[in-house]
Chain A
Amino acid sequence: MRDRNFVTVDGNEAAAYVAHQLNEVIAIYPITPASPMGELSDMWSSTGKANIFGTVPDVIEMQSEAGAAGTVHGALQAGALTTTFTASQGLLLMIPNMYKIAGELTPTVFHVSARTLATHALSIFGDHSDVMSVRGTGWALLASNSVQEVHDLALIAHAATLQSWVPFVHFFDGFRTSHEVNKIEQLSRDDLRDMINDEWIQTFRQRAMDPDQPVLRGSAQNPDVFFQAREAANPFYNDLPQIVQETMDRFAALVGRSYHLFDYVGAPDAQRVIVMMGSGVGAAEETVRALTEHGEKVGLLKVRLYRPFDTKAFINTLPSTVERIAVLDRTKEPGAIGEPLYQDVITALVEHETGDNGPKQRPTVIGGRYGLSSKEFTPAMVARIYEELQAEQPKRHFTIGIIDDVTHLSLRWDPEVSTESSEVTRAVFYGLGSDGTVGASKNSVKIIGENTSMYAQGYFVYDSKKAGSVTVSHLRFSPRPIESTYLIERANFVACHQFQFLNRIDVLSTVEQGATFLLNAPFAPDEVWDQLPQEIQQTIIDKDLKFYVVDAYRVAREAKMANRINTVMQTCFFAISGILESQEAIQHIKKAIEKSYGKRGEAVLRRNYAAVDAALDGLAKVDVPAQATSALHRLPFVETNGSDFVNRVTSILLAGRGDLLPVSALPVDGTFPTGTAKIEKRSIAQEIPIWDPEICIACGLCVLVCPHAAIRSKAYPNESLNGKPEAFQSIVWKGKDLPDHLLTIQVAPDDCTGCGVCVDVCPAKSKSSVKHKAIDMLPKRDHLQRERSNFEYFLELPELDRRELKTDTVKSSQLLEPLFEFSGACAGCGETPYLKLLSQLYGDRALIANATGCSSIYGGNLPTTPWATNAEGRGPTWSNSLFEDAAEFGLGFRLAVDQKREYAEYLLNQLAGEIGTELVETLINATQENEAEISAQRERVAELQARLENCDHPEAQRLKENADSLVRRSVWVVGGDGWAYDIGFGGLDHVLTTGRDVNILVLDTGVYSNTGGQASKSTPRAAVAKFAAAGKTVRRKDLGMLAVSYGNTYVAQLAMGANPAQTVRVFHEAESYRGPSVILAYSHCIAQGIDMSTSMTHQKDAVQSGFWPLYRYDPRLARTGGRPFQLDSRKPKLTFEQFAMKEGRFAILARSNPEQAKRLFQLAQGDIDDQWNYYEQMAGIEREITSDLREEQQ
């Protein structure tokens, strides 16, 4: 047997490792949770890692999964071994090509991190709904259930496809397997070579398109032969199961791990058997082992080759004694008799003729759904299913893992059932995304997995926030391979890396009796006890925990590691968990640090080593008193009483107890109330902005740029200031538009993320101390109580009457109530200020079609939404369709809105006699160009409704239902550059040609921010991004000019931080234009490698260097013979390099590849010069349009 390495990797890496070595072309498109496979392949290729054939695979990022599939298809046809990686809707976009690829019997393997399909909601998590959607394509479907299996079956799939010509989908569960880190035996390159027969590759090449041996493929066929040709491929499918089994057998002989089309584990004489595939097999197998040890006659049949479904092999794998079978499907097909695997099993059993091996009698079969969207699937649930199989009349169709109180399909299970082994160390770590806990935890798994004979497993849970996100790392260490594919329910080690979590999260909820509890606390060991909430004290006493503390932040600071506490906490974990001897652990940690960070320089290593060395000095065991005496208590998550829905549902989600919600609690169609982010008081800032009215010039900039609407301004009549808190401050509003008004700038202290952007942009400095501005970031603890009272009072003050104010300036626009507030976006986010402005200006009549991406996540990821309503209950109505279709989706909104209005106008005319002609005419002809006119129209609609109350005309009710559409609607399409420039460009382009009144807001960060910074066609030349590791070599697509070319579209490019006044003006012009508008909004992002606290002022550099010129193209000016294109920024006065070297995405290239950087920087400067010259010429052009054309356009 060969010597092979043991490595600790996740499922994605296990698959990509094989795929990269067995292919020549890899065409991909980023999608969670499959993206890492493409990224790893790109990284390997960019560093010259060759495949087994000796060449470096060509990894290419496409504009969508559809594009990737087309490229794969083409590359295969032309004779290159080609693969791709995808998931979910991405796989669906590949379906058309998948039918073609299979129809042409083309060998390839798609590796799929199986993910939930978006239905009533998007979910990034795992189930089989995507792979089940490609059952009909003619592809083989091969399921891997663990990280090791992903590695092994990836090879088996590649070998089998080459031999059989049938393409394979090799799938494994998204997140649970794709992101689980586990110790596996790594296949060698020789293993890979030995499994691939040269003749197969030769045949594949010979079948490829070649002008020396021309063929016609992809023909169109008629009724005479299509059918027969379709049947002609049957033998290939008939032969496939045997080929796969033979491949598995060859693999077993070579490597030693044995697989079969179906594998059975459990009692040889089992009466009750579960049939399933995917990661849940781990939990099921563990349960079977535990139950059979107690003599129970149970078993588990694991499906590996799901398509083609080999009936005979399936039957032969079942024990002959089986009487009852539960088939588990990790998908849902509404309206079907049962889910797919269930139906297949039934069919197989029905087709099976008795007398063969297999069951002596036809078993009873029941089918259950489990684990949708990575819902936990535990041994307790497995045990319950076996119990159900014993019932006199087991449920034919059931669900497990939820409480279904509507259709009562669910089985209730006993959560106390556990099969966790006593020899397994189970450690749970609570951390912040920003403190490095997950990274250190992954490292710990690697340390144990790769340096000891022990096995190790890591799985990581994140919340949905981007700022202040909480992470929970679940680590298992064991002398035996770890198959526990579920979260730790009984922890014998718990570490809390953030002291403040104790006030919010029950970090000891899973702790076992006698376990160890490690806490990072900013208190001395003899002081810490009194600082704990009583609930924590009580659990420590009741569970007899060994309690350790360390002031990790102090240790990290002293080692000059700022707030990176990861190595400190990791060292403490190893010191007290006893998994390794302390000094040995420290050596391993240092080695791991060198491996991870070695390239980043000696200083990085030295400081990390210093943190490791100092960690143990700071670690202390706390003497636990006998009594819980603390006066402190854990805080409730929701402090205000919301609506009934909020109380019943949202508050439970916020408390982290969403798993407990029954079916009846959830909306049937994915509809949720808005305005819920405000009840989630996360209070994550360390410092908050504090206002000094003495200096304030009331410019409104701080309010404009706040990404979280956490700093606000309000003007209100003098007389409304009654009963104010003592500390509440005001200044006199100086504008003539609002006489006798006061102004207050107020922070929402519990909603602020502490990003500091507001203070950075504040232009008002004290004359006596320049560092003191009209707002300063100050420690929250000193100001929290006062500002809380102030903010509560601030909210009670009356909102400004929108009719009273012209909102075309920064200052005045910021007096409007934001209807987008407190999102979970990153601290300092560059996108959200634009959305907030949109909500202020048009939120009360806006429909928003949001492309998938960051904005759909911080905008619409449960538990709450930042989209809010005003006192009248109006606000943006928001929906996300898909990633690729937001423009079309938004166009649909416009068509519907216009159609409803047309119907309302029709009805008005029908009812003119009843309603009154004057009101009807005014309603139809109202221009609604400003707030006053819109308000007047709302009043007219109210009057109409009142008159219709007394109208008994048969059309009156219909008009009542449609009357609101007479108030002008503002339709917005929102998305990032990945959508607008790449996957959604075709749709966006088409929508512009319709000329319909749709406002398209592109939040342009220059990368796919949400999936972790992959290059888009907006990524600028010379920037480093994923799939552009050597710096993007081509210039950014000029989407604005493409839109301008239609001549009918309002187009503007803006950067709020560089020119806020232009930003406000653009929004007004775009919205008022009754045709399509495109706003390209410069959105800084952490994926650009910038200091987020100065990100808004840094936008000035982007503009002053000409990197991001500001302009407006207004077709209305062309129609009047004016100059439609106006440059709003001055000639560049900084060089591109001066701008670029302040951003990590460019500067890193200058570090890593100075020559390439020099070349690309020069080209980028050339782009700027070229573009600026072009824009200047554009700005000089006066349009002279013939009268005919003018009429046509109008």
Chain B
Amino acid sequence: MMIPDLSTHYLGMTLKNPLVAAAGPLTGDLDSLRRLEDAGASAAVFPSLFEEQIEHDEMEIHNFYEFQAFSNAESPNYFPEMVNYNLGPDEYLEKLGRAKQSVSIPVMGSLNGWSDGGWIRYAKAIEQTGVDALELNVYFVPTDPKITAADIEKQYVDLVAAVHQSISIPLAVKIGQNFTSLPNFAQQLAEAGADGLVLFNRYLEADINLETLEYHPDLVLSNRHEARTPIRWIGILRDQLDLSLAASSGVHRAQGIVKLLLAGADITMMTSILLMEGPEFLSTLLKDVSEWLIDYECDSVEQLKGSMSQGNCPNPSALERANYMQALINYTSRY
């Protein structure tokens, strides 16, 4: 029995297999990061640096000291000043640097910027920690009806171009799925300098608390059916873009991983399943993927990758029409 070659290429890097730990609590902790490496992860994305969080914390500290300061003759202030507040990105960057040093697999930084200058400033800072690549975690929730889709796309593209010019390590862009013409938009990102796309970001969605009647932000773990969306879009994009494509969302089982590879993903990224089952579960997935390849008599991942892209699959229209037709037929045929 021949052992299949699991290696793949992503952002110009050769990875030993297509199973990558996505940004999450497990990659942010050095101990669990090592466990992921031991379990066979081929790379890891460190949790995002959130510029908004940094700015928020800094302003909170500022307000904490300035609130009602010098308002009263007897109490010029209410709190002693501290030696330092561990604010800003320093602690994050130092931890990222240590993460990179502590494992031998590639480690990618991740950045969620907020201000125009912040993206570039922090992208450079992350690059200087020695990481192998940078993933931009971009999202913008438009609420103003005057803002057009083109406006938003331009924001993304300008941003990617600016960051691309400021760093020399490979650049991936993690985006959401809600773009009217994703292929066109992906093309623009590629032209702006993105070396790869991560499909897709799962957003923090607010839920309603029925007791307090308030929204509360709550991140729920993905389920395996969510992989359908990246399967489709990777299938569509694979043949049309000369870009690395990473599948993210709903990567829970070996079958899902294989499907994503078939559609054209270079790597698959996972978080939820590892949080549920533990870092060691990655080795099970790896084993299952390997066995599937053996059963399928496939020599390598590279061989498999994109073999069911829109251009390579026997029924490309299925990807275009969505599953509606299929589902409808199935439904009616039951009676």
Contact = CB atoms under 8 A, between A and B. Distances in A.
B73 interface: yes
A1009 to B, nearest CB: 8
A1011 B85 contact: no
A227 B54 CA distance: 71
Interface string A559-603: 010101000000000000000000000000000000001011111
B67 interface: yes
B82 interface: yes
B82 A124 contact: no
B213 A765 contact: yes
Contacts of B81: 43, 599
A1144 to B, nearest CB: 4
A1013 interface: yes
A158 B57 CA distance: 44
Interface string B21-65: 000000000000000000000000000000000110111111111
Contact of B64 (A42, A462, A1007, A1148): A1148
B84 A599 contact: yes
A1145 B67 CA distance: 13
B58 A439 contact: no
Contacts of A462: 71-73
Contact of B85 (A36, A603, A1087, A1152): A1152
A769 to B, nearest CB: 11
Interface in A603-634: 603-604, 607
Interface string A1080-1105: 00000011010000000000000000
Interface residues of B, number: 35
Contact of B79 (A438, A562, A1148): A1148
A603 B72 contact: no
B74 A600 contact: no
Contacts of A597: 62
Nearest to B118: A603
Given A46-B80, A1024-B80, A602 B70 contact: no
Given A460-B70, A603-B54, A1025 B59 contact: no
A46 B80 CA distance: 10
Given A436-B66, A439-B66, A1152-B84, A602 B74 contact: no
A1086 B83 contact: no
Contacts of A603: 54-55, 58-59
A370 to B, nearest CB: 21
B180 interface: no
Contacts of A601: 54-55, 57-58, 61-62, 85, 87-88
A980 to B, nearest CB: 19
- Which of A32, A36, A601, A1154 neighbours the largest number of chain B CB atoms within 10 Å of its CB? A601
- Which of B57, B79, B84, B87 neighbours the largest number of chain A CB atoms within 10 Å of its CB? B79
B68 A1148 contact: no
A39 B80 contact: yes
Contacts of B72: 433, 462, 466, 469
A39 B59 CA distance: 24
B332 interface: no
B125 to A, nearest CB: 11
B317 interface: no
Interface string B64-104: 11111111111111111111111110000000000000000
Nearest to B81: A43
Nearest to B80: A1029
A175 interface: yes
Contact of A600 (B61, B67, B68, B69): B61
Contacts of B87: 599-601, 1151
B55 A1025 contact: no
Nearest to A1085: B78
B82 A1148 contact: yes
Contacts of A1144: 60, 64, 79
Contacts of A1007: 78
A1026 interface: yes
A1025 B75 CA distance: 13
A522 B145 CA distance: 29
A1025 B78 CA distance: 8
B212 to A, nearest CB: 10
A123 to B, nearest CB: 11
Contacts of A1013: 75, 77-79
Contacts of B71: 432-434, 462, 466, 469, 471
B54 A826 contact: no
A602 B93 CA distance: 15
B76 A36 contact: yes
B70 A600 contact: no
A1012 B78 contact: yes
A47 interface: yes
Contacts of A434: 67-68, 71
B57 A1151 contact: yes
A1145 B82 CA distance: 12
- Which of B71, B75, B77, B82 neighbours the largest number of chain A CB atoms within 10 Å of its CB? B71
A1010 interface: yes
B58 A602 contact: yes
A1012 B57 contact: no
B73 A175 contact: yes
A1 interface: no
A1158 to B, nearest CB: 13
A1012 B86 contact: no
Contacts of A1025: 79-80
A437 B70 CA distance: 8
B64 A604 contact: no
Interface string A19-45: 000000000000011011001001100
Contacts of B58: 600-604
A1189 interface: no
A871 interface: no
Nearest to B55: A603
Contacts of A1012: 74-78
Contacts of A124: 73-74
Contacts of B85: 599-601, 1148, 1151-1152
A1154 B84 CA distance: 11
Contacts of A39: 80
A462 B85 CA distance: 31
- Which of B59, B66, B82 neighbours the largest number of chain A CB atoms within 10 Å of its CB? B82
- Which of B55, B58, B77, B213 neighbours the largest number of chain A CB atoms within 10 Å of its CB? B58
Contact of B75 (A46, A432, A599, A1011): A1011
Given A433-B68, A1152-B85, A32 B73 contact: yes
A602 B62 CA distance: 11
B57 A1152 contact: no
Contacts of B82: 599, 1024, 1029, 1148, 1151-1153
A1011 B70 contact: no
Interface string A1005-1047: 0010111110000000000111001000000000000000000
A602 B57 CA distance: 11
Nearest to B67: A1086
8 nearest A-B pairs in the assembled complex, by CB-CB distance: A433-B71, A601-B58, A1012-B75, A438-B70, A1152-B82, A1013-B78, A603-B55, A1029-B80
16 contacts: A32-B74, A42-B80, A47-B83, A433-B68, A434-B71, A439-B69, A599-B84, A600-B62, A601-B54, A602-B88, A1010-B75, A1013-B78, A1024-B79, A1086-B78, A1087-B78, A1144-B64
Interface of A: 32-33, 35-36, 39, 42-43, 46-47, 124, 175, 179, 432-434, 436-439, 442, 460, 462, 466, 469, 471, 560, 562, 564, 597, 599-604, 607, 765, 770, 826, 857, 1007, 1009-1013, 1024-1026, 1029, 1086-1087, 1089, 1144-1145, 1148, 1151-1154
Interface of B: 54-55, 57-88, 213
Given A433-B70, A460-B70, A1152-B84, 16 more contacts: A36-B76, A124-B73, A433-B71, A433-B72, A438-B70, A439-B66, A466-B71, A599-B87, A600-B62, A602-B88, A604-B61, A826-B68, A1012-B75, A1026-B80, A1086-B67, A1148-B82
